[in-house]
Amino acid sequence: TEPSRLNKSFVHTESSCSIASKKDIKLSTSHLHRRVTTKVFHCKANDNLLPTCNGEITTMSFLQDVVDILLQYVVKSFDRSTKVIDFHYPNELLQEYNWELADQPQTLEEILLNCRTTLKYAIKTGHPRYFNQLSTGLDMVGLAADWLTSAANTNMFTYEIAPVFVLLEYVTLRKMREMVGWPGGCGDGIFSPGGAISNMYAMLIARFKMFPEVKEKGMAAIPRLVAFTSEHSHFSVKKGAAALGIGTDSVILIRCDERGKMIPSDLERRIVEAKQKGFVPFLVSATAGTTVYGAFDPLIAIADICKKYKIWMHVDGAWGGGLLMSRKHKWKLNGIERANSVTWNPHKMMGVPLQCSALLVREEGLMQSCNQMHASYLFQQDKHYDLSYDTGDKALQCGRHVDVFKLWLMWRAKGTTGFEAQIDKCLELAEYLYNKIKNREGYEMVFDGKPQHTNVCFWYIPPSLRGMENSEERTSRLMKVAPVIKARMMEYGTTMVSYQPLGDKVNFFRMVISNPAATHQDIDFLIDEIERLGQDL
């Protein structure tokens, strides 16, 4: 790694920081544009950075070097000639570097080396050939917003300490509710630490809506509740049931068709069955964009069933919610406007930097009633502004990170049409991949037909298996193919794509595309790389 300007020629004395070199730094603020000659010190971070007396120049120099490191990383992230990952096994990294915390402070030189080392071994999730997770890409406006948010370093619980951020959350959530289809953007919502927590919020609020006494008296005061979700749904539905004391056995999994969509007739059958056993159905969690297949449950039919049996309808659109931005693809979420609550993760398909997950609730005031505890040291009732903007009492958290600014600023920079173009491009790339491999020698699709989302699920069949009839031996050998290719991908550092088994299907590749930097050439590269790394298996 190239040494930082701070690393070039430092001299350290025990009594003080010694001047080692001079340089020019351009300081730029909204009030000031000037050049100053600064002196760079080999000094201890805790003694020489702001707010220490006369720490301005050292601090500016240090932060400038940090920004240089970050900008170099950003440039490398989009450079296809660089590795997606410089992979080392855990024991190698632990042995090669000293990661332990010490009693004495490090020097700024050492701190900068720590920054470089950390990024050296970080996964370049913005790399055009990183396809491993649902959240990929690196948006420059979102990155800038994240930096600004960290500099502001405030909390979202009251208007008095986060006035602009609270207003932006109000405006953005209302716009998202409009896109769901609730008239005038009516309702409520909150940004949470992720889709799993948003889904748990939905379960919490649905339970409170049906049995408000549970807030004070607990689960012992109410009947046995049951929730319903598809067998392809996200594991967070069961996690939420466990966390809320409902229990994972009270989450009933509904059968899916061959494309991974919930079967409404099975949902209704299981609801009737649960009621006959004396259980109380309180929530159906439909999925708009399943994690593996990218399937969209039939929301209109599910909404009809929920209305018939008076059950809260939640839509987990963490992965597929972004398609609401696309005039071409939003039909896949028809019926979402009938939901009582919706999870939507802009940090997935929309490329907002992690974390950014929204829970949207159709009924206004319900979140507040469910969660408020009237903490008088935060939510005083005699403040001099409209108290409805103190949002903290409707959240489970007290401290809550500012997640909205990244989304809001990106939306301002792109407009809805910009997000639409980005999403449409990713779906077109998925279709391009599907068309290239569906009839290609050495590939088998996990399910028939064009994928609904950017999930393309397939097996790579090495030459040694292509002539074999289906048998236990072939299945056993095929199960090992994807893990070995994935391991080789990581060791070479060329690309990353996920794999998993599902039901009776052994390990297959699940390709997902959410990075607008990806191109047809990157898809071609992935195909060639899979074949290169798997030919000898």
Q: How far, rounded to the nearest angstrom, does the alpha carbon of residue 495 sit from its chain's CA centroid?
A: 20
Query: What 3-state class would DSSP assign to 119?
Result: helix
Residue 483 burial (CB count, 10 A)? 12
Given a cut of 60, whether residue 8 has pLDDT beyond it is no
Residue of 189, 222, 188, 193 whose CA lies nearest to 207? 222
Spatial separation of the C-alpha atoms in residues 343 and 196, rounded to whole Å = 9
Tell me: pLDDT of 13 over 70: no
Whether the CB-CB separation of 203 and 341 falls below 8 Å is answered with no
Q: Taking a C-beta distance cutoff of 8 angstroms, is the pair 262, 298 a contact?
A: yes
Q: How many CB atoms lie within 10 A of CB 498?
A: 18
- Helix/strand/coil (H/E/C) assignment for every residue in 452-470: CCCCEEEEECCHHHCCCCC
**Residue 24 in this model has a pLDDT that exceeds 60:** no
Q: Residue 161: what residue type?
A: I
Place of tokens 């992720």: 194
Nearest-angstrom CA–CA distance, 270 and 491 = 47
Strands (E), 3-103: 19-28, 33-41
Structure tokens given for 351: 């490329």
Mean pLDDT of 300-327: 98
The answer to whether residue 20 scores a pLDDT higher than 80 is: no
Mean predicted confidence (pLDDT) in 446-455 = 95
Cα–Cα distance, 424 to 375 (Å, whole number): 46
Looking at residues 184-213, what average pLDDT do you find? 97
Quickly state the pLDDT bin for 42 (edges 50, 70, 90).
low
And the tokens for 128? Answer: 């055009």
* DSSP 8-state symbol, 442: T
Tell me what the pLDDT averaged over the chain comes to: 91
Tell me the pLDDT tens digit for each residue of 285-304.
Answer: 999 999 999 999 999 999 99
Specify the range with the lowest mean pLDDT, choosing from 24-28, 53-57, 174-178, 452-456.
Answer: 24-28
pLDDT, one tens digit per residue, over 77-88 is 999 999 999 999
Rounded distance between C-alpha atoms, residue 214 and residue 204, angstroms:
10
Q: How confident is the model at residue 21 (pLDDT cuts 50, 70, 90)?
A: very low
The pLDDT of 27-44, averaged and rounded, is 43
- Is the pLDDT reported for residue 236 higher than 60? yes
User: Which backbone phi and psi does 22 adopt, to 5 degrees?
Assistant: -125, 150
Region 315-328 average pLDDT: 98
Q: What is the mean pLDDT of residues 245-258?
A: 97
What average pLDDT score do residues 178-198 get?
97
Instruction: Read off the tokens for 81.
Output: 């000639």
pLDDT at site 382: 84
pLDDT level of residue 27 (50, 70, 90 thresholds): very low
Q: Categorize the per-residue pLDDT at 127 as very low, low, confident or very high, splitting at 50, 70 and 90.
A: very high
Task: Give the pLDDT band (50/70/90) at residue 43.
Answer: confident
Rg (CA), the chain: 26
